[in-house]
Amino acid sequence: MHTTKKGWLAFGASVAAAAMLYTPLVLLPASAAQNLMPNPGFSQVDADGKPVCWQDYGWGENRSDYGLTAEKALRLTMSERTSGDRKVMPAQNTDCAPQVAAGTQYDLSLTYRTSTPNTAITLFKHTAEKGWEYWTDLSTLAVTGEDKQFRVRTPAIPAGVDQLSWGVTAYGDGEAVTRDYSMTAVLADPPRKRCQAGQACPKGQWDVLPYQSPVRGIHAVLLHTGKVLLIAGSGNDPSAFERGSFTSAVYDPAAGTFTSVPTPSDLFCSGHTQLADGRILVMGGNAGYPTEDGKANYKGLAVSYIFDPATNSYQRTNDLTAGHWYPSATTLGNGDVISLGGLDEKSEGSVSVEYFSQEKGRWLAGNEINQTWKFWGLYPSMILTAEGKLFYTGSHVFGNGLDGTGSSLYDYGSGTIRDVEGLQDKDNRDQSMSVLLPPAQDQRVLTLGGGNINTNVAANRHTDIIDLKEKNPRHKPGPQLPQGHMTDGTPQGHGEGKMYLSAVILPDGQVFETGGGLHNRSDPVFEASMFDPKTNTFTEGMATDPVPRGYHSSAFLLPDGRVLAVGNNPGDGSFDQRISVYSPSYLYKGTRSKITSVASKNWTYGSAQQITVDRPVAKAVLIRPAAVTHSSDPNQRSVDLPMAVDGDRLTLTVTANQNMAPPGWYMLFAVDADGVPSVAEWVRVGDA
């Protein structure tokens, strides 16, 4: 027994008093590759009976010890802890610590039992420049008195790292017993069969682009220029916040180029929405990261800006009445904007209703706003209904839902809030996604998946459907999300679903569901499906994005009918800046129809608009461009256009209900009888 001192970093099992970022218990299949762990069964021991090539490290004031049991397992004990930790892992030298290759992932596994929840899997990395240093705690281990197998996958090894050491770390009093250590390189996926133009491609096809985004794609907004505004702010990087380094970029998917945009404030985790003139209103953001002592949480900014695609620049508006970090943003039928929820300047739930007047070009002062003083949570999904009310779907971010049924209808004009019944498992809908099903005229909303970062339960497969046209609408259970799988295609487990998912309305009237993770910031789920609003069914087995898409990821529709995906921010603090593009099956059904002319780009409500096409089409739709972050794009919608046909000339009737299609720029798609859409033309809907 001995008292520890501050020691070295390695990969090991630790007993942790401090809270971990996530607590997965995930069984990943080990790759059919060489076990890189030295002396994994502890068959070799030194003169003191300690396993050869294994060493303990640690620091702080505590009493600890390690050694082998009669069953040739490694016992790590800790008692009288007031600070620090103790860990056991391969010795950090050339002979014992496994060699690794940059860019490769590794599957780590062991068998364990532990009497304390304060036990973690810890990784250390080695570079020629810095030597050995701590890398990350990958996961905690659940308390169990029986032997359990635990497997987890590392992030890709960073450039310059040539060795890895890992093991179990203890941060609290108790005992952890481990054996059967394994570390294997994840084998490269076999080449995938590529679809060719004109061939049937029922699953669609993903392409990972040969370049990466220069900024972290935490927020993504499709501009009416066809370009994409990517906002990072500090990008969930406290060091960038301290430096005042805030970033945005405008991405041109057609040219594959990025234009850096000076970013005046930390717009990390702000809200945003499309204005009627095509500019982007951005509100709130991050005023401070949590402190190490836990006395302060994230804090909300009260700033607001308008991004102008014509100049690629932000212009300051007046401030909000309070700070908001993770606020909602919904454009109303008159072009005004309501923003709700998030954390304020004191790290408390913000109860202020924020109202932006399009006519006045500013946020209203507190005495001009019809306040309810209700806390709606973080990124509450607020969908505008045909009656002009806001429907809170129950999708939100971080932890439990709020009091009540988890869903409600909010009438800003009267200030009334009415609970909506029927939402399944309301406290486990964190990072679910909700979408107004096409066509918007049907007023049906689908809510998919979710989890809970507080309890870190496995994400669920729930879906809920509600018809807002009913006198007393209520959620009804929909079909379960299709079963997901891990990287190599192995099913993830019975009854488990995903959070952090994306749902994208396509021009053919389907909803493409993709991405997500099983737990908070860990365990990506590789599954994608098509939801058909006409039959309320999923078509399973769509092609899956090769890039994990979990926390801080987004997917959204492009004007050419493809789906673009960005972002992924796992619990080790890394950020995946690769960009993926999905081509749905309709792009492999032959030549696409084309909109050859649009008589006017400015469409008034209730008007008849003339367009021409080069071949017969079955329908025309307007799709509002994305403004998406954190599995939330409450303004996403597809509006059917009643159509009269005269040869190649179509007369399209624009809805007279401004709440059905709030003013702004829309993508106009013509869709043929096989569901194949044209490339979109941009039109602006609004008053004359």
Of 131-140, 194-203, 656-665, the range with the highest mean pLDDT is 656-665
Residue 150: is it exposed, middle or buried by C-beta count within 10 angstroms (0-12/13-18/19+)?
buried
Flag whether pLDDT at 494 surpasses 80: no
| pLDDT at 486 (0 to 100) | 57
| pLDDT at 491 (0 to 100) | 62
| pLDDT at 5 (0 to 100) | 32
Give the percent of the chain with pLDDT over 90.
75
| pLDDT at 1 (0 to 100) | 38
| pLDDT at 653 (0 to 100) | 98
CA atoms within 13 A on the CB side of 674: 16
- Give tens-digit pLDDT for 271-319: 999 999 999 999 999 999 998 777 889 999 999 999 999 999 999 999 9
Minimum mean pLDDT range among 193-207, 217-231, 460-474, 538-552: 193-207
pLDDT confidence tier of residue 686, bands split at 50, 70 and 90: very high
428 phi/psi in degrees, rounded to 5: -125, 45
Stronger pLDDT, 14 or 654, i.e. the higher one: 654
**Mean of per-residue pLDDT scores for the chain:** 90
- Domain positions in the chain are 2-185, 219-378, 595-686
As its CATH architecture, domain 595-686 has Sandwich (2.60)
- Give tens-digit pLDDT for 359-385: 999 999 999 999 999 999 999 999 999
Which residue carries 């620090």 as its tokens? 84
CATH class assigned to 219-378: mainly beta
Question: Residues 106-113: what's their mean pLDDT?
Answer: 90
CA atoms within 13 A on the CB side of 546: 14
CA atoms within 13 A on the CB side of 302: 16
Question: Residues 26-39: what's their mean pLDDT?
Answer: 60
Flag whether pLDDT at 31 surpasses 60: no
With left for phi above 0 and alpha for psi between -120 and 50, is residue 216 left, alpha or beta?
Answer: beta
- Give tens-digit pLDDT for 546-596: 999 999 999 999 999 999 999 999 988 899 999 999 999 999 998 999 999
The correct answer on CATH 3.40.50.150 for the domain covering 2-185 is: no
pLDDT confidence tier of residue 8, bands split at 50, 70 and 90: very low
Q: Which DSSP state fits 440?
A: G
- Give tens-digit pLDDT for 156-180: 899 899 999 999 988 889 999 999 9
8 A C-beta contact, residue 96 and residue 121: no
| pLDDT at 3 (0 to 100) | 37
Q: Which DSSP state fits 469?
A: T
Peptide bond into 439 cis (omega under 30): yes
Strand 681-686 with 602-604, pairing: parallel
pLDDT confidence tier of residue 192, bands split at 50, 70 and 90: low
| pLDDT at 618 (0 to 100) | 97
Question: Residues 635-655: what's their mean pLDDT?
Answer: 97
8 A C-beta contact, residue 585 and residue 215: no
